[in-house]
Structure 1
Amino acid sequence: MRTTSVADQVTRAALELFATQGYATTSVQQIVEAAGVTKGAMYHYFQSKDDLLFAIYERMLSLQKSRLDEIMARGGAVEEVLRTVCVDVIETSIDFLPEGTVFFRSMHMLTAPRRQEVVRRRREYHDQFATLIERGQAEGVFRTDVPRSVLIAHFFSDVHYLSHWYSPEGPEDKTEVAQQITDLFLRSIRANGGGATDG
């Protein structure tokens, strides 16, 4: 119990400092002071600021991947499975909005091995997402006139852009936003126009 709380305290302190004053200008000393722990305690879990920045984002990546695995394991009609996956990734991205904002702003400062690990983990998720699109295309549900990579980029660009405009204090909650973005995406990838002529 104690061990988890030290790692959590350090991660939370780092997240807050990176968000308010930037990754580059935050020192390890400031992080441990804000967390109320010693440097030795921090270094037991994180070897560097680099490790901390990666850990902040890794929590979201791990959660989203485990949720994706669960949703796909349940099975079902391809469009409904994809709908559930899309809503989930948007909702969890909103839940981790501060983490995502800090990470994307500072990702270029990660060491090359850490950057490569993030790319590998995200590609793993995208590849699994792509299998759903591929299955839908094979079943004639999703369009095939646009490359699969473009369809996937279309969805995830919306997800990555959330931090630029979404506010938890805004008029729409995360579920409404997730359903709206998912609906727009699914309409755009359906075969035969995807209901673009509705209304």
Structure 2
Amino acid sequence: MKDSHVADDITRAAVELFATQGYVTTSVQQIVEAAGVTKGAMYHYFASKDDLLFGIYDELLTLQKQHLDEIVARGEASGAGVDEILRAVCVDVIETSIDHLREAAVFFRSAHLLSADRRDEVTRRRRAYHDAFAALLERGQVEGRYRTDIPVALLVAHFFSDVHYLSQWYSPTGPESRDLVAAQLTDLYLTSLHPADAGA
């Protein structure tokens, strides 16, 4: 049973080392020593240090995409409006990003060091998520709920810039709880989507 936790132990050790001393200066030997495993055990789960860095991001993105698909499917099945669905998606992205704050910080600081094929894979995976997110914005535009004077791509980037910046200022030990930050950032974002002449 212990073997089932080896990959998690290696990932946790790598995240800590990458965060404290950087990806480039962290050796495989340091990772396996910190995880309490052998190099053979590491290479059983990860082909390389590059593979390990990619895996840190892959885990988070897979989780968020799964949640997005579930939220959209559940909302459509229940007849929920696009505001309700998008709100749930935004809250989930922020909450899961905060739950994996250290991993996200490591990845965004070191993503440019990935091999070319891994960078391409990251781009493809992020685009798939962003396309699904954009589809909700486009639905809201068609329904007249969201502004159309700003390109959808910019509306998507506006939200995710806040998400990517979380690791620069948010602290789990600070005065703002994860749920409060998720709700407040989501409220600010959804308000920014309202047509400029709304209520006029």
Q: Same fold by TM-score, threshold 0.5 exceeded?
A: yes
Q: What does residue 149 of structure 1 align with?
A: 153
Partner of 1:11 in structure 2?
11
**Superposed CA offset, 1:30-52 (max 9, x none):** 11111111111110110110011
Q: How does 1:116-131 map to 2 (within 5 A)?
A: 116-131=120-135
1:54–1:114 CA contact under 8 A, matched in 2:
yes
Structure 1 stretches of 4+ with a deviation exceeding 3 A read: 192-195
Indicate the residue corresponding to 2:59 in structure 1.
Answer: 59
Question: C-alpha distance in 2, partners of 1:101/1:151?
Answer: 23
Alpha-carbon separation, structure 2, partners of 1:194 and 1:41: 59
Amino acid in structure 1 at the alignment position of 2:195? A
Residue 83 of structure 2 is matched in structure 1 by 79
Aligned-pair CA distance for 1:3: 3.3
Shift of 1:114: 0.6
Of 180, 185, 189 in structure 2, the residue corresponding to residue 181 of structure 1 is 185
Deviations 1:33-91 (A, max 9, x none): 11111111110110110011111111110110000010000121001100000010000
Corresponding residue for residue 112 of structure 1: 116
> Does the aligned pair in 2 maintain the 1:64–1:92 contact within 8 Å?
yes
Distance 2:189 2:156 in 1: 10
Tell me, what secondary structure is at the counterpart of 2:124? helix
Q: Which amino acid in the other structure matches residue 102 of structure 1?
A: V
Size of the aligned set, in residue pairs, is 196
- Separation in 1, partners of 2:198, 2:160: 19
Q: Which runs of 5+ in 1 are unaligned?
A: none
Cα distance in 1 for residues equivalent to 2:18 and 2:11? 10
Question: Structure 2 regions of 5+ residues with no counterpart?
Answer: none
Letter in 1 for 2:71: I
8 Å contact 1:188–1:194 — kept in the other structure? Answer: no
Give the alignment's TM-score, normalised by structure 1: 0.95
Indicate the residue corresponding to 1:169 in structure 2: 173
TM-score under structure 2 length normalisation: 0.95
SS in 1 for 2:7: helix
